[in-house]
Amino acid sequence: MKRIALISEHASPLAALGGTDAGGQNVYVAQVARHLARLGYAVDVFTRRDAPHFPEVLEWVPGVRVVHVPVGPAAAIPKEDLLPLMADFTRFMAAFMAREGRYDLLHANFWMSGLVAADLKRLLGLPFVITFHALGKVRRLHQGEADGFPDDRFAIEERLVREADRVIAECPQDEADLRDLYAADPARIVTVPCGFDPDEFSPQGRREARERLGLDPDELTVLQLGRMVPRKGVDDAIRGFARAVRERGLSARLLVVGGNSPDPDPALTPELGRLQGVAREEGVADRVIFTGSRDRAALRDYYSAADVFISTPWYEPFGITPLEAMACGTPVLGARVGGIQYTVMDGETGYLVPPRDPDALGKRLGDLLADAPLREQMGEAALMRVRSHFTWEGVARQLAGVYREVEQEAEGARPVPPAESLVERAFQSLMTTLTRSRRALEPQIEAAAEAITECFERGGKVLVCGNGGSAADAQHFAAELVGRFRIDGRRGLPVLALTADTAMLTAWSNDVGFDDVFARQVEAFGCEGDLLLAISTSGRSPNIVAALQAARARGLTTVALLGGRGGDALALADLPLMVASTDTPRIQEVHILALHLICELVEEQISTALPAHLPAAVRLNPPGATSPLISAPVRKGANV
């Protein structure tokens, strides 16, 4: 079973049920979730908790849970104010997944949910797809200053277009906008339209529907239905209707369904007042009926009762209402914008007219109202078209295909176990570990070398310890500094490997315990100002942890060469050097490189600590040095 997280920060699928203020995104998320569940997906929809009584996790329909994300006030707030809450939204989802398991894929809806998905991808490596529903740059083009979203939206959308595994365009116009305005990679855009649910929308019989709504069964009826905002072009619908009625001398009425309440009160829906003014101005106040909002269950009767459905917004990312009207067998008079020009086939399932052009609209409306057989024919063609192209079931199947593609790609990106020899694999993995560690280790190696140099300069000594291979590394390190590394003729530096005294190690382990064999020696040899260098690939060896604790207690500086997650040693080290691997031998190999580099840097720093004009022998063996100079002759050996 595949687990999908649908993220929809402001548009809850539950709002789609009540229907009064639900926009297209609520319907989309609700329907996609339900139909994905029917295809066998386990779907969780993450949406902001905007009412106090909502439980955190609600089992909604079989296979779909709604997770109410508790960020911001548990009340409705404008979506323009949600961006600052998104970081908490992301944190909540990451914690939720830590508790309840990961998703196979995230499907974000709208740009702010996209931000959550993109951050989760960076954090957890989850693939994501996004349906924008509306694009900020398109909105700004059409709405200008009326657009209340911050300008950050543009840069965020650009990032999402770059980082999403797939961008779902809802129609060819959306796809073109993504390419032209956002430079989206065409190979990662897939066009999947919105849909309708045949159980919800089907022809109800015109006369019966009109009767149920209390409308005159014989009068020509035109319907405009949707949210009441200026960009929906309801004023153009009213003006076009007025022209058609005037010019053709028809007896018809226009139903305008929508608003903030079921009561068509301009005090509750200010836009309504403006539109009533337009109807009066056009002399059709008695023919335009504002109904207020209606429950979703009642909409099929409205769509079925109408002879013509009008949808002429200035722009529309997709436009679900024309589909729903077509699903009820009603021809659509639509604006040639966005998804409408894709769903409505001009001259076949209705007509397309330019946006904001009441004259063109009036003419086409007149043609339709005057020709009953044409309306009949177009209504049937509309029904056929939506049933074959735009059901939610079909949409969910297409999305499932996109999810499968993304998953296959993700699998392809996972490193295939290499077929080459063990030796080749070891080289490869060491190179990977080196590359990963490089950036992090460079400043740490320099800092460790500096701390060790300072320790020597103040007259201190270095104690080194480790187990197994790291014990050998400890001795190796001591040998380089007590003896010589690259620079010939310098003084010996005081480094004591705590792993070398077998009598002490065996007696203490035999009689007392192994866990404090090093701590005991730190107590014996360590003085304030000295430095302990602890080496452990896991950071969990008890004797290493105890040695670091003892060193801290005595005022020694602590440096630790670690790997994996650093274990308890990590927090006890003033300077931890972490190798980005969990494989012991690879960590040790990087440790050796780090130790050699530390030796080289320390030698260099010690030799330049005194003015350059002094003879080399004096610089390398300063007058205050406690150990005698053993310089020449150096016998021939591998390191010479």
Ligand X SMILES: O=C(CO)[C@@H](O)[C@H](O)[C@H](O)[C@H](O)COP(=O)(O)O
Binding site annotation covers 526? no
Is 538 labelled a binding residue?
A: yes
CA–CA separation, 479 vs 217, rounded Å? 103
| Nearest residue to 79 (alpha-carbon basis) of 109, 106, 53 | 109
Residue 542 CB, nearest approach to ligand X (Å): 9
Nearer to Zn ion by Cβ, of 70 and 585: the residue is 585
SS3 117: helix
57 to each of 44, 133, 206, 210, how far by Cα in Å? 9, 25, 42, 41
Give the pairing of strands 42-48 and 3-7.
parallel
Q: Does 585 interact with ligand X (rule: CB under 6 A)?
A: yes
Site for ligand X in 596-635 (CB under 6 A): none
Q: List the strands of the sheet with 288-292, edge to edge.
A: 288-292, 252-257, 220-225, 308-311, 332-335, 350-353
The residues near 102 (Cβ < 8 Å, ≥ 6 apart) are 3, 124, 126
Name the binder of 543 from ligand X, Zn ion, none, CB < 5-8 A by kind.
none
Using rule CB under 6 A, residue 464 touches ligand X: no
Q: Which residues of 287-324 are buried (b: 16+ CB within 10 A; e: fewer)?
A: bbebbbbbebebbbbbbbbbbbbbbbbbbbbbbbbbbb
Nearest residue to 236 via CA among 224, 226, 253: 224
- The tokens describing 624, both together, are 């205050």
Q: Is 470 near ligand X (CB under 6 A)?
A: yes
Shortest distance, position 534 Cβ to ligand X, whole Å: 9
Q: Is 133 annotated as a binding residue?
A: no
SS3 108: strand
538 binds, among Zn ion, ligand X, none (CB under 5 to 8 A by kind): ligand X
How far is residue 211's CA from residue 216's CA, in Å, rounded to a whole number?
7
Is residue 588 a contact residue for ligand X (CB under 6 A)? Answer: yes
Residue number with CB closer to ligand X (260 or 581): 581
Q: Is 10 annotated as a binding residue?
A: no
Q: Which does 467 bind (CB under 5 to 8 A by kind): Zn ion, ligand X, none?
A: ligand X
By a kind-dependent CB cut-off of 5 to 8 A, residue 262 interacts, out of ligand X, Zn ion, none, with: none
Q: Which of 30, 252, 544, 572 binds ligand X (CB under 6 A)?
A: 544
252: left (phi over 0), alpha (psi -120 to 50) or beta: beta
- Tell me the residue number closest to Zn ion, measured at CB: 469
According to the binding rule CB under 6 A, does residue 143 interact with ligand X? no
Alpha carbon 56 to its chain's center: 21
Site residues (vs Zn ion, CB under 5 A):
469
Is there a binding annotation on residue 537? yes
Smaller CB separation from Zn ion, 469 or 542: 469
Minimum CB separation of residue 588 from ligand X in Å reads 5
- Of 538, 558, 581, 621, the one binding ligand X by CB under 6 A: 538
Which parts of 189-208 interact with ligand X (CB under 6 A)? none
Where residue 529 falls (left for φ over 0; alpha for ψ -120 to 50; beta otherwise) is left
Contacts of 627 (CB under 8 A, 6+ apart): 491, 492, 494
Is 591 known to sit in a ligand binding site? no
Angle between helix 152-163 and helix 172-182 axes, rounded to 10 deg: 110
- To Zn ion, the closest distance from the beta carbon of 166 in angstroms equals 46
Q: Which of 536, 557, 558, 581 binds ligand X (CB under 6 A)?
A: 536
467 among annotated binding-site residues: yes
* Residue 150 binds which of ligand X, Zn ion, none (CB < 5-8 A, kind-dependent): none
In the complex, the smallest distance separating the C-beta of residue 544 from ligand X, rounded to whole angstroms, is 6
What is the spatial order of strands in the sheet that 462-466 belongs to? 495-497, 462-466, 531-535, 557-562, 575-578
- Which of 398, 584, 607, 631 binds ligand X (CB under 6 A)? It is 584
Which residue's CB is nearer to ligand X, number 313 or number 466?
Answer: 466
Q: Which residues are annotated as a binding site for Zn(2+)?
A: 476, 480, 588, 596
Positions at the binding site for substrate: 467-469, 480, 510-511, 536-538, 541, 588
Residues in touch with ligand X (CB under 6 A): 467-470, 536-538, 541, 544, 584-585, 588
